[in-house]
Amino acid sequence: MIIVLKDGTTKEQLILFKAALEEQYDVTVNTWHGVGSTVLGLIGDTTAVDEDWVGAQDIVDNVKRVQEPYKKANRKFHPDNTVIELPTGQKIGDGSLCIMAGPCSVENEKQINYVAQRVKASGATFLRGGAFKPRTSPYSFQGLKSEGLDLLKGARKETGLPIVTEIMSSAHIDMFEGVDIIQVGARNMQNFELLKQLGKIDKPILLKRGLANTIEEWIMSAEYIMAGGNDKVILCERGIRTYETATRNTLDLSAVPIVKKLSHLPVIVDPSHATGKSWLVEQMSLAAVAAGADGLMIEVHNDPKHALSDGAQSLTPDQFDVVAKKAFALKKAYDGIVNS
Ligand code: PEP
Ligand code: MN
């Protein structure tokens, strides 16, 4: 349930009203303060809440029931875009274009440091790299695990780029202490126990869309993290499984404006996993910018032909340089058109 308060409601009136609601009903009240308006979002069992009583209060402008099952992630509860700010100053969702780039897997020190330097020089704002890899085959390279995390931290020290890497088990959360953004991969989007544990920490979570999940299921997974108290969720569209076989997945670009309409969370796009083909990454990156994405996640490898995972979809640093330049140029032009 959403309650919009009248302009001029005092702090004291707000405190009394919230206390009355929480005392009478089994709900918690979230408050969003905007310019000139205050919105209360009721979470919990709102079926018992007497709409007429609420609407009759002096300070209430209007009250409406929310149909969607997600509350904290719902734009109705939080009309402004969420901006995620890292302690190191980088922002996601503030209108800028963030680019997370790096290899699918961290392979060795030389590789990750070289790729980190190259993507930074091209304008990437984050370094990505997998240390724990969710592979379809148990016989494929599974990642360097904790050694991979250490190598990523070393590359961050060398370049200053914050790091993004995937977690596969809640048993590893302590190991991710020094990671800037924790990625939940497509295969774990509905690992609810993992999501609940990530809800208890104070670190941004990059939540990829599941292989065959609807937009609503995806936002509900974000809600799991937020329900635990962690509001720092970034959504990542990475393609879904369809009948099409020409690409690894089908990039659902309409998900970007749809999610941004339904939710206030930032949305980025991963054209690498979405297509599985390096030659498609440039066009799909530009299309994602035009769809209004807050950022891109792109796989970049020093030697894609010999990559231990996802070589076919990885760009060389030179190719990435071209894509990044075009993406930033398009973003500038796009902002000019959209804001005119
Ligand atoms: C990855 O980012 O390397 C990865 C495994 O992604 P996804 O979960 O989208 O398949
Ligand atoms: Mn990959």
The torsion angle over the Cα atoms of residues 206, 209, 214 and 218, rounded to 10 degrees, is -20
- At 291-311, the pLDDT tens digits run 999 999 999 999 999 999 999
Instruction: Kindly identify the ligand whose nearest atom is closest to the C-alpha of 130.
Output: 1
pLDDT by residue (tens digit) across 19-70? 999 999 999 999 998 877 899 999 988 999 999 999 999 999 999 999 899 9
Ligand nearest to the CA of 248: 1
Residue 200 has a pLDDT of: 98
Sign of CA dihedral 111, 116, 118, 122: positive
Residue 237 in tokens:
């569209």
pLDDT of residue 340: 80
pLDDT given for residue 35 in this prediction:
79
| Residue 276 Cα to ligand 2 middle (Å) | 9
Q: Which of 152, 238, 269 gets mutated to test ligand 1 (max ligand atoms within 8 A of its CB)?
A: 238
Report the distance separating Cα 141 and Cα 108, nearest Å: 13
Rounded Cα distance between 164 and 84, Å, is 14
pLDDT of residue 202: 97
Residue of the CA atom closest to atom 10 of ligand 1: 186
**How many angstroms from the chain centroid is the CA of residue 118?**
24
Compute the distance from residue 34 Cα to the ligand 2 centre, in Å. 39
What is the average pLDDT value for the chain, to the nearest integer?
96
From CA 81, how far away is CA 93, in angstroms rounded? 7
pLDDT given at position 134: 95
Packing angle, helices 109-121 and 317-338, rounded to 10: 30
pTM assigned to the model: 0.95
CA proximity to 297, closest of 204, 219, 208, 190: 208
CA of 177 to the centre of ligand 2 (A): 22
Tell me, what's the pLDDT at 256?
A: 98
Report how far residue 3's alpha carbon sits from residue 289's, in angstroms, rounded to the nearest whole number: 34
Q: What are the residue ranges in the chain where pLDDT is below 70? A: none
Ligand 1 atom nearest to 186, measured from its CA: 8
How many angstroms separate the alpha carbon of residue 44 from the centre of ligand 1? 34
pLDDT at 36: 77
Residue bearing the CA closest to ligand 1, atom 4: 185
In this structure, the residues whose C-beta lies within 6 A of any atom of ligand 1 are 104, 130, 134, 185-187, 208, 238, 270, 273
Distance CA 69, CA 74 (A): 9
